[in-house]
Amino acid sequence: MVQMVNGVSSPLVNTITKIKQIKRNLEFWWFYKNFYNHFFFYTTEQESELKELFKIRYRVYCEEYNYISKENTKNGLEKDEWDSHSTHFIIRDEEKEIAATVRMILNSDDSFPLLGNFKIDVDTSSVNLSKAAEISRLIVTKKYRRHHLLLVLIKGMYLFVKEKGIENVFSVMDDKLLPMLTKIGLPFRKIGPPSIYQGLTYPCMLNVKEFEICLQEIDPRLLKFISEGVIKYDGTNHKYSVS
């Protein structure tokens, strides 16, 4: 007997699922093939650009999602003491509008925001904090949330951590973001109980080598996409560009 799912036979459901997956894969590879014709991906230290992304962070984190209280901001800018210890990634579109951004906090006095705001209940004694980083303030603007920019951000950050010799990456995540990243091959694991920190969130950590092994098993083509590329440093303008 043919099993039915919502009135549709299982073989047909499986076929439809496969077709949808193929469609998503084709859309992604077409998008990436044409990405650099439509977007610019780089890091910035320029004050004017940082002010621009602080405004976007305020709009998303304070107004759209209410993760951060407006009372903790000034002049419509969302920024904190960790920004001066961070590398700020920006993707701009053809109109030079910011389409996506994320910051990577590099080690500062053997500390990270996550370590100061969460109880850590796993042994992290083997983690070399001088070779660690913390990802935060991840944003893909509304206009581009269906345009695979998250994977491109991951690619840029991966190339950056390989360039810098970073071995482990911390991040604060909620129950929506963590499963999504795990599904696409980023084996972030919870390293402590949840806390009320920008919502109900968990302290998480990813080992870069484990990420490479996991993604090789889940989707070798995606690992190839993420690892193939060049991150160049422009000493004059003090920025990296991703290509």
Q: Which of 135, 134, 162 is nearest to 240 (CA)?
A: 162
Expressed as residue numbers, the domain containing 26 is: 11-233
Q: Which of 162, 165, 152, 151 is nearest to 242 (CA)?
A: 152
With respect to residue 84, please indicate whether it lies within any of the assigned structural domains.
Answer: yes
In tens, the pLDDT along 25-79 reads: 656 666 667 788 889 999 999 999 999 999 999 999 999 999 899 998 999 999 9
Q: Are 184 and 155 in contact (CB under 8 A)?
A: no
> CA 29: distance to chain centroid?
19
Q: Examine the pLDDT at 14 and tell me if it is beyond 70.
A: no
What Rg do the C-alpha atoms of the chain give, in angstroms? Answer: 19
With respect to residue 63, please indicate whether it lies within any of the assigned structural domains.
Answer: yes
More confident residue, 237 or 183: 183
With respect to residue 239, please indicate whether it lies within any of the assigned structural domains.
Answer: no
In tens, the pLDDT along 125-161 reads: 889 999 999 999 999 999 998 778 898 899 999 999 9
With respect to residue 242, please indicate whether it lies within any of the assigned structural domains.
Answer: no
Instruction: Provide the domain count of the chain.
Output: 1
With respect to residue 5, please indicate whether it lies within any of the assigned structural domains.
Answer: no
- CATH code of the domain in which 66 resides: 3.40.630.30
With respect to residue 240, please indicate whether it lies within any of the assigned structural domains.
Answer: no
- Give, as one character, the DSSP assignment of residue 62: I
Q: Which two tokens stand for residue 218?
A: 């889940």
Entry pTM: 0.84
> CA 107: distance to chain centroid?
18
DSSP helix/strand/coil, 91: strand
